[in-house]
Amino acid sequence: MQNLSHLSVLIHEQAKKYGSRPVLTFRSFGSLKWKTVSWNQFSLRVKQVSNALLNLGIKPQEKIAVFSQNCIQYLYTDFGAYGIRVVSIPFYATSSESQIQYMINDAEVKYLFVGEQDQYDKAHRIFPLCPSLERIIIFDESVRVSSHDPNAIYFEDFLRLGEGLPRQTEVEKRWAEANEDDVCNILYTSGTTGASKGVILNYRQYNAAIIANGKCVGVSDKDRAINFLPFTHVFERGWSYLCLSVGAQLIINTYPKEIQDSMRETHPTCMSSVPRFWEKVYQAVKAKMDEASGVQRKLFNHALSVGRRHNIEYLANGKRPPLALALEYKLVNNTVLSIVRKQLGLEHPNIFPTAGAYVSPEVEQFVHSIGITMIVGYGLTESLATVSCDRPKQKYTIGSVGRLIDGIELKIGENDEILLKGPTITPGYYHRDEANAQSFDKDGFFHTGDAGYMKDGELFLRERIKDLFKTSNGKYVAPQMVESMLLVDKYVDQVAVIADQRKFVSALIVPEFHLIEEWAREHGIAFENNEELCANPKVHDMMMERIATLQQSLAGYEQIKRFTLLPHHFSMESGELTNTLKMRRPIIYKNYKDVIDKMYEE
């Protein structure tokens, strides 16, 4: 049963119902041991944060910011802020000093909560450049605080300001005053094309989103949802609050690179993620099958074929599988397919919402075939995550991004742009009158910048309008679609397609180095470093052969004709990736101008 209480009191209301039942599973910074926290303990910590913030003198709708990886203190801080009508602004843990300085000053943040040493060091260095900032509060007690820093305190010391709940009467007065038009969060976009903008999210949006998403996805208090994406990401934030509203447990994974180990250790039933996670799973399973015996490969391919027919040809189309197929699926599901899921730590999978980028139909089909319900969706920070998603008990099409959630009004504008209106859409960008004027039309519809179309009640995406490339021959190429085809290959780690105003499509490809190295050794290719490996003609020819196979379904003008293997990754440090690991194409094209130009030499 969903609890629709205002976020200021949600945790306390749930604690009345669930009491000593575990709600949060976590590991302390630097620890390998998983621990749990009950609803009662969660509620108490949130109240202590609310009281402590009041003791520091914060007023309604003033701002705090959280600059940290996912951790239990993050949730205490956010909900403690909501309890006293304070705006919480999440920063990506990988943000640079210039980024956090900009956001702190733009939003006039008073208190900055930081996670580990790296975040503290950055915060300490920019502190003198942020006039509104009064305190740095540190989650990880192992952080070394500068001897010249009178403004930093540890989170445990901060909590002592709220011990005994000395300001609880005032906290409860703020609960009574809380309303749906209060600003809850300001989420700064990752800025693939320009300066970051602060998206305003209020409690009315959260309430509408939690109700609408609750009708779409079957998550309940029997579920255990692991956090893969950072809480800074609107997708993870909205998903986590939905889970808490139904009494589900959250498993807090602090370090994204450890996600697969964490899944095997904690056995979640749900997880929201981006397509790249499932692309990696697909690559890993395929690689394992390549090494398996002929009999094992035959068994697996047969099981996959049965899974595809049962889960996609029948269930996805709203049809009941024939008895013979149902019995055969039950057999392969309990034997072969269950082994694949067990290796992922998913012995009892429920639902796995996936969004944030183009989902390769090949990968989507594979995930459904092994018995995992991937719910593909579409959304933006400005729509508080979900605009549309698959409905597990309704017909869905591989390649679509599902059906609109309740309350969303959609129309298709010029250049097939998706325009949105509804209770989950942001009221605007913080302090950005010009951007707001450009983003909303006279009827109040928000311009997403994404092209798409509706068919039989489902939404299909074409491409980011700004990302559409036009070749010098006048043909349009959608780079993300081409890139997603290559990313399913086990030898490809990153890829950037080039085509705009060029004669043909080319690509910069970062290989999966350890696999390329293995292949080179097996084929007697000598190399001293990544540069030599990437420059080797035999490696290039092998990759060209694989790329040709992957892009067979593309029109001739969409196919990659030339590519360059890069000896190092695109990175955030170089400005080539955002904090959400999306490519900043203009910077990549600038940084690799000479390499790109060389691919177009006659």
Question: What's the whole-number mean pLDDT along residues 437-454?
Answer: 93
- Give 466's pLDDT tier (boundaries 50, 70, 90): low
First CA to last CA distance, the chain? 66
pLDDT at 302 over 80: yes
pLDDT at 413 over 80: yes
Q: Which residue is associated with the tokens 């208090």?
A: 221
Residue 194 has pLDDT above 90, yes or no: no
pLDDT in tens, 216-272: 988 999 999 999 999 999 999 999 999 999 999 999 999 988 999 999 999 999 999
CA 265, CA 32: separation in Å to the nearest integer?
10
Which H or E run contains 263?
helix 259-266
Residue 108 pLDDT greater than 90, yes or no: yes
- pLDDT at position 484 is 86
d(CA 83, CA 173): 10
Phi/psi of residue 474, each to 5°?
85, 10
Question: Band of the pLDDT at 578, cuts 50, 70, 90?
Answer: confident
- Whether residue 186 is predicted with pLDDT greater than 80 in this model: the reply is yes
Mean pLDDT value across residues 146-164: 96
- Per cent of the chain over pLDDT 70 is 97
Identity at 82, one-letter amino acid code: Y
Q: Looking at residue 478, what DSSP letter applies?
A: -
User: Which of 402-411, 481-490, 546-555 is most confident?
Assistant: 402-411
Name the DSSP letter for residue 460. Answer: E
Asked if pLDDT for residue 580 goes beyond 80, the answer is no
Identify the pLDDT of residue 195.
Answer: 66
CATH of domain 468-599: 3.30.300.30
Q: What is the mean pLDDT of residues 106-115?
A: 98
Residue 33: the pLDDT is: 95
Mean pLDDT for 176-195 is 84
Residue pair 378/390 in contact by the 8 Å Cβ criterion: no
Q: Mean per-residue pLDDT for 443-463?
A: 92
Rounded Cα distance, 589 and 28, in Å? 41
pLDDT of residue 59: 97
pLDDT attached to residue 581? 78
Residue 501: which pLDDT band, with cuts at 50, 70 and 90?
confident
What tokens appear for 46 in the block? Answer: 């949130």
Q: Which residues contact 359 (CB under 8 A, 6 or more apart)?
A: 275, 278, 374, 376, 484
- Beta strand 374-380 with 352-354 is parallel
| CATH number attached to the domain at 275-465 | 3.40.50.12780
Domain boundaries of the chain, sorted by first residue: 275-465, 468-599
Report residue 196's pLDDT band, with 50, 70 and 90 as the boundaries.
confident
At residue 500, does pLDDT exceed 80?
no
| Vertex 83: Cα angle to 80 and 87 (nearest 5) | 80
What CA–CA distance (Å, rounded) separates 174 from 167?
11
Q: Is the distance from CB of 49 to CB of 79 less than 8 angstroms?
A: yes
Is residue 521 over pLDDT 60? yes
Asked whether the predicted pLDDT for residue 534 surpasses 70, the reply is yes
Confidence band (pLDDT; 50, 70, 90) for 361? confident
pLDDT tens digits, 36-71: 999 999 999 999 999 999 999 999 999 999 999 999
Q: What HEC string does 374-402 produce?
A: EEEEEEEHHHCEEEEECCCCCCCCCCCCC
Task: Using the predicted structure, report yes or no on whether residue 128 has a pLDDT greater than 70.
Answer: yes
Residue 477: its pLDDT value, please? 80
- 98 burial via Cβ count (<10 Å: 0-12, 13-18, 19+): exposed
Q: For position 470, what pLDDT does the model report?
A: 67
The position carrying tokens 């109700």 is: 211
Indicate the average pLDDT of the chain: 93
Tokens found for residue 116? 């580990």
Q: Which residues pair with 514 in a beta bridge?
A: none
Instruction: Count the neighbouring beta carbons within 10 Å of the beta carbon of residue 590.
Output: 12
State residue 359's pLDDT score: 84
Paired strand residues for 249: 224
The total number of residues shown for the chain amounts to 602
Q: Please choose, from the candidates 42, 10, 4, the residue with its C-alpha nearest in 3D space to the C-alpha of residue 175.
A: 10
**Rounded Cα distance, 181 and 337, in Å:** 48
